[in-house]
Amino acid sequence: MATAQSKLQIIIEAIRKGTGDKELAKSLKDIGKEIESVGQKMTTRLTLPIVAGFALSIKSASDLAETMNKVDVVFGDAADEVKAFGEDAADSMGMSTRTALEAAGTFGNLFTSMGIGVEVSADMSTSLLTLAADLASFNNIDPTVALEKLRAGLVGEVEPLRTLGVNLSAAAVELKAVELGLVATGEELDPATKAQA
């Protein structure tokens, strides 16, 4: 900027002394180039990060809208209950609304595919979100990791849950199903009953 100031001084002196137009035109042209260079640097350093921030915000909003739509489709009439739960997730469970709703949608989709009704699926999904937050806190892991381990356990993968100290076995699930009154002793468990137990 010092060169721009010195050139401005030359222009002021040229005007005072009444020197030729060539010297004045050259100084003005040089100042213009410097101002253009400063403008380009400002654009690169200021405008591009702002544009990138807006693009990220738009993508995040779009992702949240898609997640909300998934919750509507999966939970139907119970969607508002799940959405309200998800909105409180940041304060109560340390996970974003989007993360909570994505997980609830995944659990709900899993439960409804097993033949569990939407109301029960909504209750089970929100209960699992709370459990994931508790497991994450207790084991000092990210809530999304706990959510993935719970999802794995629901589809029969016991090892991820064992890393959290949960000993899940077929016998334990059958015993819990009988205890909850979901089946009689010795009765075969269908996927929905296993998930509930």
> Tens-digit pLDDT profile for the chain (197 aa)?
556 566 666 666 666 665 556 665 666 667 667 777 766 666 666 666 665 555 555 666 666 678 788 888 888 899 899 888 888 876 777 788 888 898 899 999 888 888 888 899 899 999 999 989 899 889 999 888 998 998 888 888 888 888 888 877 777 778 887 888 887 888 887 877 777 77
Determine the pLDDT at residue 122. 92
Give the span between the Cα atoms of 184 and 179, in whole angstroms.
9
Asked if 109 and 65 touch (Cβ cutoff 8 Å), the reply is no
| Max intra-chain CA distance, the chain | 110
- Give this prediction's pTM: 0.61
Q: ∠ at Cα 154 (156, 133), nearest 5°?
A: 135
Q: Is the dihedral of CA 167, 117, 84, 145 positive or negative?
A: positive
